[in-house]
Amino acid sequence: MTLYAAYGTNLDPRRMSERCPHSPLRSTGWLTGWRLTFGGEELGWDGALVTLVEDPIEQVFVALYDVTPEDEVVLDEWEMASTGLYRKTRVRVAGMTGEVLAWTYVLDAYEGGLPSALYLGTLAEAAEAADAPADYVTGLRNRPCRSIGP
């Protein structure tokens, strides 16, 4: 098994158990030196897509999953890694028991653009389901988003 750091919709343990039924949640932690952002607005069907960029003063809440090789293939397909939309990268996650190495997905597109309100709500609900701190969830809910209509 390999350790996967989820920061987007895969933060939600229920969603992950549907996508990767053999890959249990191990713990949660913080990806220090990275910032949650959005990019590839032209690539998403509903606005910009969530991603990470390095930022020495920021941190991102993550859920750590022990991913089986079979589930990793499914997750790669789900995250469209085979198409080049997202690429895998190795990261260090600060957890309750110290630092661990894991992999995560990073959007292979320029930073910028706004996500939809629906997408932001889904991300906030996933963070809430993973027991992210209330201020982190509120920060997601209060991010700027695309306006609806002409």
Domain ranges of the chain: 2-141
CATH topology of domain 2-141: Hypothetical upf0131 protein ytfp (3.10.490)
Give the predicted TM-score (pTM) of the model: 0.92
Q: Distance of alpha carbon 71 from its chain centroid, rounded?
A: 17
- Ligand-binding site membership of 4 (annotated): no
List of the chain residues with pLDDT < 70:
1, 44-45, 148-150
- pLDDT computed for residue 46 by the predictor: 78
Q: Catalytic positions, please?
A: 79
